[in-house]
Chains A and B, each alone.
Chain A
Amino acid sequence: MNDILRQGRAWMPVLKSAALFVLALPLVISAAVALFNGEVSRLALIGAGLASLWGAGALVWRALVAEARYYLGQRLDPPAVPLKLASAALTALGAGLAAASGDNGLVNAAVVGAIAAAGHVLFYGRDLKPRRVDVPSVAGVDRDAVVTQLKQAYGRLQGIEAAARNIAVPEFGDRLERIIDVGRRILAEIERDPRDASRARRFLNVYLDSAERVTTEYARTHRQVRSRPLEQNFRQLLIDMENTFEDQHRKLLESDVLSLDVEIEVLNARLKREGVN
């Protein structure tokens, strides 16, 4: 039951898409009246307006579903097509066409359409921009595989973040925030030097996945049972997790220093050999 509630909370914004379907309903009556009076051109304008508004509703529904999945870490990227922008344009068109059927002129229709578009942007927000994962090409490293790993890892961090919002204990929220911060620093390090992906294999494939699963599970169960031993276990787990993440980050930095040392040594030897030093 609680799981259903938790899912419900995560998907709540999707319900906002119903507004466009409901608000357009009076146009059905207008269309019926126009049909009854035999006003063909008016009926065409109202019908087109209604179709545009419901089309806008369908688009924004898809956009909000995709965003919910993206925020929960269930998909790697937000939609590539700006669905909300298209929905806002259709909303403006729909409201404008419906207003135009009243024979009040184009300016009136344009003003009504513009207000509807502004309302759409304020109510539903803008399209999410896909995360840019810039990984340089390095010999011997499968760049595409690293990009996919990084996107999955960012998704898992987002999943942890979403679960953390459902945990009411402030201390755990702070700890998870620090863990997410270190996680982001590790991923940024891998993004900068994709050779780190193989060094951080366990972090990418095991630690992050476990961290996300445990946090989500705790966020689900602590609403049902508030037991001290469970809290203490989770606290200890978070401490271990934080230390592991910090260790991983430090190791990546140290390996960078080590490889820089090696490169300097090689350069020194070369300069000596060529008689510059």
Chain B
Amino acid sequence: MLGLLLLTVSISVASCQALFHGHLLPPMPAMESIEHQ
């Protein structure tokens, strides 16, 4: 099961980096832009 965990983590990390331009999560909007809104 450790093998499946490592596979899942590595491919998920790669997928997230591919989707969010190198980040693991979508980049948060900057505070100024929130205040501006």
Contact = CB atoms under 8 A, between A and B. Distances in A.
Given A98-B14, A99-B14, A115 B19 contact: no
A116 interface: yes
A244 interface: no
Chain B binding surface SS class: helix
A260 interface: no
Given A24-B11, A112-B13, A19 B21 contact: no
Interface residues of B, number: 22
Given A23-B12, A99-B13, A112-B13, A42 B7 contact: no
Given A19-B4, A121-B3, A116 B10 contact: yes
B30 interface: no
A115 B10 contact: yes
Contacts of A99: 13-14, 17-18
A152 interface: no
Contact of B18 (A49, A118, A123): A49
Contacts of B13: 99, 112
B2 interface: yes
Nearest to B5: A119
Contacts of A29: 19
B12 to A, nearest CB: 7
Nearest to B11: A23
Contact of B4 (A101, A102, A108, A123): A123
A74 interface: no
The winner among A42, A94, A95, A124 for most chain B CB atoms within 10 A is A95
Interface string B9-28: 11111111111111100000
Given A102-B20, A102-B22, A102-B23, A27 B7 contact: no
A170 interface: no
A91 interface: yes
Contacts of B9: 115, 119
25 contacts: A19-B4, A23-B8, A23-B12, A26-B12, A26-B15, A26-B19, A27-B15, A29-B19, A33-B19, A46-B18, A49-B18, A53-B11, A94-B11, A95-B10, A96-B14, A103-B21, A112-B13, A115-B9, A116-B10, A116-B11, A118-B6, A119-B8, A119-B10, A122-B6, A123-B7
